[in-house]
Amino acid sequence: MLRRVLPAANAIFLGHVMVRLGSLVLVPLFLRYWSPISYGEYLALFAAVGYLGSLDIGMQWAAVNRLTQAYARNDLDEYRTVQHSSLFFYLLLSASVTLLVASLVWLFPIPHWIGLRVTKPATATLVIILLAGYVMWSMPMRLISAIYQTMGNLARSQWIANAQQLLVVLLSALVLILGGGMLAIASLQILTVGFISLFVLLDVRRRYPALLPGIAEAKLSVLKELACPSLLFALLVVGNLIAYQGSILLVSAALGGLAVAVLSVTKAMIDVVRQGLYSINLALCPDFARMETLGELEKLRMVHRITVAAVAAVTLAVAASAWYEGALIITVWTRGRIEPDVTLLRLFLILMAFQTPWAASSTVATATNRHKVQAIGYFFSAIVGIGLVAALLPRLGPRAVPVGLMLGEAIGCYHFVIKATCRIIGESYGAFALRFWSGFAAVSAALLAAGWAIHHMMPGPMLVRWAAMGLCTLVLAAACAWVVWLTPEDRALLLPKFRTVLGVSEVKV
């Protein structure tokens, strides 16, 4: 299990790290060579076309799962049929939507509707077209890159995606240093899609010619079959776009680019932890599916408890550290060009603390294609959340975003998603919820108290204080999770494994 999970989790995690490090490098460069308002307006333009990603309707997940099954059975005829059908769908969709966006943006004052103030309409129009092309043509690129994943090498597919992200960061930095504007930055995005696609096609043609993509054997009947399981995945994608991209657009229209920049930089800190934990959950999906299929429910219940406990512990440890040190981190990161909103940051930390446990629990349902409750619940919470953001924005400003999204998830996810997972694995929901949420309150209080003590008792070098706080809160969170969230049976099973890893053996008398 570890041989399968660790390389994939490592690649996915490092992919998120590259994205965050890319932001760490690019945000100061953007703010140095562009004004904060121009940077915020570019983010708003990217958010405007981000909704196009929902047109995937979950086809990627459904197609890759089907291709993986066909390859495992050595059924290359079905593999080619599914591959050609899904690729034809993506090529047709990408070309059609790109042309449609180009037509609409020339006919209607979309940049004005977004609330742009300093970017010229002609420039904004071309940037929207280029970014729309990037979003749409990334879809067939991801399908082509997933060929390695269908063969059981998820890590290679992920590393190709990582290479594209790294290429975007390097080229963006070069363009900014050379004085490039929005058009140049948007153009290089779509250029990297073409380069990576060409590389994968040449590599597959050389190493696995039988799996070379095409469209000659595409069938409409296969697309109809793939459409059914993809719709629930689509709800998750659309819900995420509504919640986060919609929030950026609302803030842009109401408060302008500077508020968007503050919101995005604050949220970027939270995404580091959330995406890192997501990589572990995603890597566990194949094993969750295998255990459920084989009826290993006792093992699945234990892994579920450990996963949720570990995710919650890490989340609360980071939240406790960032509660006191996060504002200073933002100031150092942006070199003082973005003034942090401490209350906004802490509200996002609370949102993350409540979000990651149910998201970790839902991995079981996603892995077993029984994610109806999760999909509907999250989509409903996104609709409610964005409505609350819009209603609270005049009074709370950007702080309305974490407040509205948190209230939406409280209504649609915290209870229903975890309950659905417990039903799938045969866990007593009442006992699990009581143990977890009561422990959640106790662990949160302990970590916040520890963070407060370190913050006020170590006025010395900030890097030393950050390291000490991170280490202490993480160790305390792990100890609390061990005692509070794991059952005696879980601890009895895990303790010998920890002793083996640490090289410690019991002393026999």
**pLDDT class of 432 with cuts at 50, 70, 90:** very high
| Domain extent at residue 6 | 1-218
Q: Are residues 187 and 254 in the same domain?
A: no
Q: Is the domain of 475 the same as that of 357?
A: yes
Between 391 and 21, name the one with better pLDDT.
Answer: 391
* pLDDT digit string, tens, across residues 195-208: 999 999 999 999 99
Residue 306 belongs to a domain: yes
Query: 443 burial class (0-12, 13-18, 19+ CB within 10 angstroms)?
Result: buried
Mean pLDDT is lowest, of 37-51, 123-137, 167-181, 310-324, for 37-51
Residue 64 has pLDDT above 90, yes or no: no
- Confidence band, pLDDT 50/70/90 cuts, at residue 4: low
Contact in structure between 469 and 451 (CB atoms under 8 Å): yes
Residue 244 lies in a domain: yes
Q: Show the CA angle centred on residue 340, arms to residues 334 and 342, nearest 5°.
A: 145
Instruction: Taking residues 373-381, report their average pLDDT.
Output: 92
For the chain, the first-to-last Cα distance in angstroms comes to 35
Q: Which of 218, 250, 265 is the last residue of a domain?
A: 218
Q: How many domains does the chain have?
A: 2
Per-position DSSP letters for 269-299, written without gaps between them? HHHHHHHHHHHHHHHHHHHHHHHHHHT-HHH
Question: Which segments of 178-256 does DSSP mark as H helices, in order?
Answer: 182-207, 220-240, 246-255
| Among 155, 186, 218, residue at a domain's last position | 218
The pLDDT value recorded for residue 143 is 94
pLDDT at residue 94 is higher than 90: yes
pLDDT digits over 479-495, tens only?
988 888 888 887 887 77
pLDDT band at 506 (very low <50, low <70, confident <90, very high): very low
Span of 234-238, 342-346, 392-396 with lowest mean pLDDT: 234-238
**DSSP secondary structure letter of residue 508:** P
In-domain check, residue 89: yes
Contacts of 489 (CB under 8 A, 6+ apart): 302
Same domain, 319 and 460: yes
Q: Check residue 3 and give its pLDDT.
A: 63
Residue found by looking up tokens 């619940």 in the block? 377
Whether residues 462 and 487 fall in one domain: yes
Q: Could you tell me if 131 and 193 lie in one domain? A: yes
Based on the domain organization, do 257 and 347 belong to the same domain? yes
Q: Is residue 126 included in any domain, yes or no?
A: yes
Residue 507 resides in a domain? no
> Do 119 and 199 sit in the same domain of this protein?
yes
| 263 and 305 fall within a common domain | yes
Angle between the N-to-C axes of helices 342-361 and 297-333, in degrees from 0 to 180, rounded to the nearest 10: 160
Q: What pLDDT does residue 208 have?
A: 92
Confidence of residue 269 (pLDDT cuts 50, 70, 90): confident
Residues 85 and 234 in one domain: no
Q: Can you tell me the distance from the alpha carbon of 437 to that of 303, in angstroms, rounded to the nearest whole number? A: 18
Residues 389 and 424 in one domain: yes
502 within some domain: no
Read off the pLDDT of each residue in 307-311 and give the average, rounded to a whole number.
89
Same domain, 266 and 131: no
Q: What is the structure's pLDDT at 505?
A: 46
Kindly state the greatest CA–CA separation across the chain.
Answer: 85
